[in-house]
Structure 1
Amino acid sequence: MVSQVTPGLDALRAGEASELERELRGRKCALLFNPTGAAIDGTSALDVCRERGIELAALFSPEHGPRADQEGDIESSTVGQLPIHSLYGATRRPTAVMLDGLETIVCDLQDVGARFYTYSSTIFHILEEAAPRGIRVVVLDRPNPLGGQVVEGPIIDEELRSFIGYAPLPVTHGLTMGEVARFFVRWRGWDESLLSVVPVQNWKREQLWPQTGLQWRQPSPNLPDFRSTAWYPGLALLEFSGVSVGRGTEAPFQILAAPWLDFEAMREALEATLKGTSFSFQRVDVTPTRATFEGEACVGVRFDCSEGEPTHPVEFGLRVMAALRRAHPDFSPELWQKAGQLLGSKRILDSLWNGELNEALEITRADGERFKREREGVLLYD
């Protein structure tokens, strides 16, 4: 019989972290949460904390707000008598006022395994502000939906670091949120006693989300299911480059579209860059209901994969970028450079611009292998 994959919240609830739980009961705590922080039966992390006698003095919410359904900056609010401090609004890190009197911050968010998904940056800023104040951070861990084996670079260039890529991580790192937090602590040389992780039980690194048996709770409006999440690290690389990547369509991150897109030129270019892979594509005409080209009729390309979902989404994304550049030689250099914020490598960006796809893929693979070695000391799962 296969054992149930059990997130950290459920393990805490079942008394599997009894010593830590006793400590939490005696401390003034805050909770970083959204609806992805829920027990297997749907009970929210907030209610589990109350159920277990853990006193909460405040709440924090990441990008997309406490209900994971908003875009853009989020205002702070309240639930009952508890303040909900937004960490994606006027500030993206907890302030001294927010932290006043707190002894522990409990974090329960479902990450998606991509460096530029901002939940890990929010955890980083919490750790960064907690460390000098002696505030303890507890991560209730959850599986990486993309599994823990595939790692794809590039590791972000230092000069390109920002809130969507703060630490020297590759695009897909194969780490859980708890492991990412451990990486942050080691990278910055913080006291390791600052951080506690309640591990996922019975999760193996080879397991993708469908193998966990867990219900998908969308972490943001454009990741409604595992399929969109599996494609996300690929086409999202072009998010800032003046094209639609499928937000506001029926297939987020599986469609590339623009009013000016030349499908015949793209078809020819994609046949070259995707040759020998498991990917196929077809023309679609879409009108996005949100984000880039909202309300505008677009010519698009919809992608599919004979393996079901891409196992190496970053390499797929680079192949699409190479095709876009080849099909549209007049593509704006300024918009192209904006992709660097997500891709995180000027060298790869320049290689793709100059038609050197193989060079870009080699750098990506080398960085992935390098990070596999660098991450060994923070891994919690086999």
Structure 2
Amino acid sequence: MRLHRFSLLGLLACAVSAGAQVRPGIDVVLADSAHLIAHRRLGLLTNQTGVDAAGRRDIDVLIAGGYRVTALFSPEHGFRGLEDRPGLPDAVDSASGLPIYSLYGGMPLARLAALDSLDAILIDLQDIGARYYTYPASATQLMREAARRGKPIIVLDRPDPIGGVAVQGNVRARAGDPDSAFVGFLPIPMRHGMTLGELLRLANDRLRLHAPLTVVPAAGWRRSLYFDATGLPWVKPSPNMPDLESAIHYPGTCLFEGTNLSVGRGTALAFQIVGAPWLDTAAVLERLRDRGSGKGERLPGVDVSGTTFTPRAPTDGKYDGVDLRGIRLHVTDRARYDPTKTAVALLAAIRAAQRDSLRFNARSFDRLAAGSDLRRPPRSGAAGSPRSRGSGARAPRTCSIETLAVARYFPRAMNVIPQPVRDGFGRLLDPLVRWLIRRHVPPNILTTLGTLILVGSALTFAGAKIHWGGFLLLFSGVFDMVDGRVAREGSMTTTFGAFYDSTLDRVGEAALFTGIAVYFLRGGVPAERLTAAVLACFVALAASLLVSYTRARAEGLGLTAQVGVAQRAERVLLLGVPTLFFGAGNRGVLLFWIVLILAVATSVTVVQRVIYVARSAGTQGGGRAARQRETLPGHAPALQSRKGH
């Protein structure tokens, strides 16, 4: 009888345990800590994931409970989580009638005025467990403004959906500014194992915000629990996070966003697949098998297989409507699976199998990877070192991927300005870029100003004020460098912005060479050189436009063509620096020879790019890849690049 009694108690305990449900922070604060929000004017940063255990919206539950919510704030993807574009405007919640102040666009002054009127700010967002997610950055931005005003912050915490035990991947070296380093600004691993409340505590400490921060924990959650063991309803945290399987892969496969491979956006398997029209799945899978042969290094906890898929209206613009060959990942053992190591191994296999097809958007990839190490070739004998912090956290042994060696087709000298020099000048502009992002200056305004200055340069050249023409040309180049960076790093990229930028660049170049031709026609050079000078202007203009077009068209086909002796930066410097210091020279001889050299160099660059694309396309196998639809000049769907020079 006693044995039966114990058996019955055991069954009851199991039943209670199986039916137990994690309570998110919204349920806990209402049941146990209502004094934190009672009799206060409340603001709420949330989206579609801000629901209680029964799936009811936070805002509805709070209003029904008599709490005074007066303002709503929304992160990337908007209040309802349906948007996947930058520059989201402020709005109104149709159900409650409350204003929604967008932290991903919107009007900063209106947002700050609303913040001034509040007594406390609630934050309820579902993070995904990976460094790249932007919700912590939005929450930190709001927390910083609240701290400056002495407003308390109350985080209604939620579980880490992929568990709080595993900590995997490399670690960002130091904390960044959430305004300029919007993606992955915290010094945490790719898979960080933390909740949003824990991330904001870290941000509050590392950025020294001194915000009065309270975290209301999710009751009943244990760090070993994945989301499907919490009993909570799965609400897509973002449009391309369909289920928990995608979330588990995301800390690794998100790296492929910085390449010319699709991650499955526009399909039901986003971040579970990667692919491209040029991908040789058999060769890649063979490389992965070879990697494990005899070494005990086969990728644990995951099944890797070949597949095909077709993205439909993908929000990253990659291969819309194109049939792609791909690699699919399926988790078989969560306890053994390391998505970061798997992704880097897959990237290495693709690089080894198809070195001439894989392309990196260096700035985007490095932002995701917290540096350029994963793009660079491994040093001889280096197997990678532990870089992650926490339990069992190690960087993947295959910790770097080689970038395309342009020198395979052209000597390094053919790219006149070395990449380290370009990167160094870019770092000099970092403070300006951050300042513009903090001031929410639209990139299209910068593009317009740069074009107006370039047109002014053309007018001064035409008016024989050559020194001023060179100065204004170089000054316009600064705008040309920062508008794209502000768009990308400030998460303000748009399809129209890319089109607008590319169009005005062509307008500026046409104006510039026309202005120089007018100078020549007005007696800037002797009569015997006039025909050659004007012809050189038109050849230089036509070739400059073709230089831009060849790159844009190549990227639209999933290739690249960023090579040549006269890319945009070289053209600006070659024309701007000598004319700034020496003018047109005696009887226009200096300007004449500069334009003549530009005409030849840009024509050579066009030929270089055509040859380069021909050789790159020839390495993709016997059959022709499916042709993509025509793209906007200067806007490559494969890499979502704002610049196309």
Q: Distance in 2 between matches of 1:93 and 1:36?
A: 27
CA contact (8 A) 1:318 1:357 kept: no
2:598 maps to none
The reply to whether residue 185 of structure 1 matches residue 198 of structure 2 is no
1:47 maps to 60
1:276 is aligned, of 295, 298, 318, to 298
Deviation (angstroms), 1:232? 1.1
CA contact (8 A) 2:130 2:191 kept: yes
1:99 to 1:243, Cα distance in 2 relative to 1, 3 A: same
Listed as ranges, the matches of 1:11-22 within 5 Å are 11-13=28-30, 15-20=31-36
CA contact (8 A) 1:230 1:309 kept: no
For residues 326-382 of structure 1, give each alpha carbon's deviation from its aligned partner in whole angstroms, at most 9, with x where no partner exists.
1222246653563111111323332xx44889734x34xx3233898xxxxxxxxxx
2:39 is aligned, of 26, 38, 46, to 26
1:198 to 1:221, Cα distance in 2 relative to 1, 3 A: same
The reply to whether residue 85 of structure 1 matches residue 101 of structure 2 is yes
2:90 is aligned, of 68, 76, 80, to 76
1:121 maps to 137
For residues 297-340 of structure 1, give each alpha carbon's deviation from its aligned partner in whole angstroms, at most 9, with x where no partner exists.
21111122331687321111111111121122224665356311
Q: What percentage of residue pairs aligned between the two structures are identical?
A: 34
Q: Distance in 1 between matches of 2:392 and 2:186?
A: 12
1:174 maps to 193
Structure with a larger share of its residues in helix: 2
Q: Distance in 2 between matches of 1:255 and 1:92?
A: 38
Partner amino acid, structure 1, of 2:299: T
CA contact (8 A) 1:105 1:137 kept: yes
Which stretch of structure 1 is more off in the superposition, 217-226 or 96-105?
Answer: 96-105
Q: Distance in 2 between matches of 1:78 and 1:108?
A: 18
Return the structure number with greater relative CO, CA threshold 8 A, min gap 6: 1
Partner amino acid, structure 2, of 1:190: L
Listed as ranges, the matches of 1:284-295 within 5 Å are 284-289=307-312, 290=314, 291=316, 292-295=318-321
1:233 maps to 251
For residues 184-226 of structure 1, give each alpha carbon's deviation from its aligned partner in whole angstroms, at most 9, with x where no partner exists.
111123335x111111111111111122121111111111211
SS of equivalent residue, structure 1 residue 301: strand
1:115 to 1:356, Cα distance in 2 relative to 1, 3 A: farther
1:96 maps to 112
1:57 to 1:159, Cα distance in 2 relative to 1, 3 A: closer
2:373 is aligned, of 342, 347, 351, to 347
Listed as ranges, the matches of 1:360-371 within 5 Å are 360=384, 362-363=385-386, 366-369=387-390
Partner amino acid, structure 1, of 2:390: E
2:553 maps to none
Listed as ranges, the matches of 1:138-287 within 5 Å are 138-158=154-174, 162-191=181-210, 194-273=212-291, 275-278=297-300, 279-287=302-310
CA contact (8 A) 1:231 1:309 kept: no
Q: Distance in 2 between matches of 1:87 and 1:207?
A: 31
Partner amino acid, structure 2, of 1:359: A
Gaps of 5+ in 1: 373-382
Partner amino acid, structure 2, of 1:172: R
2:405 maps to none
SS of equivalent residue, structure 2 residue 168: coil
Structure with a larger share of its residues in strand: 1
CA contact (8 A) 1:234 1:318 kept: yes
Deviation (angstroms), 1:267? 2.0
Deviation (angstroms), 1:63? 1.0
Deviation (angstroms), 1:70? 1.4
Corresponding pairs, count: 362
1:330 maps to 356
Deviation (angstroms), 1:50? 0.8
Partner amino acid, structure 2, of 1:263: T
Partner amino acid, structure 1, of 2:112: A
SS of equivalent residue, structure 2 residue 32: coil
CA contact (8 A) 1:288 1:296 kept: yes
User: How does the TM-score come out when normalised to structure 1?
Assistant: 0.87
CA contact (8 A) 2:175 2:185 kept: no
User: How does the TM-score come out when normalised to structure 2?
Assistant: 0.53
Which stretch of structure 1 is more off in the superposition, 318-327 or 152-161?
Answer: 152-161
SS of equivalent residue, structure 1 residue 112: coil
CA contact (8 A) 2:101 2:111 kept: no
Q: Distance in 1 between matches of 2:359 and 2:92?
A: 44
Q: Distance in 2 between matches of 1:341 and 1:91?
A: 26
1:171 to 1:265, Cα distance in 2 relative to 1, 3 A: same
CA contact (8 A) 2:176 2:186 kept: no
Write out the 4+ residue segments of structure 1 that deviate beyond 4 Å after TM superposition: 90-95, 158-161, 331-334, 355-358
Q: Distance in 1 between matches of 2:89 and 2:35?
A: 36
For residues 124-152 of structure 1, give each alpha carbon's deviation from its aligned partner in whole angstroms, at most 9, with x where no partner exists.
11111111111111110110011111112
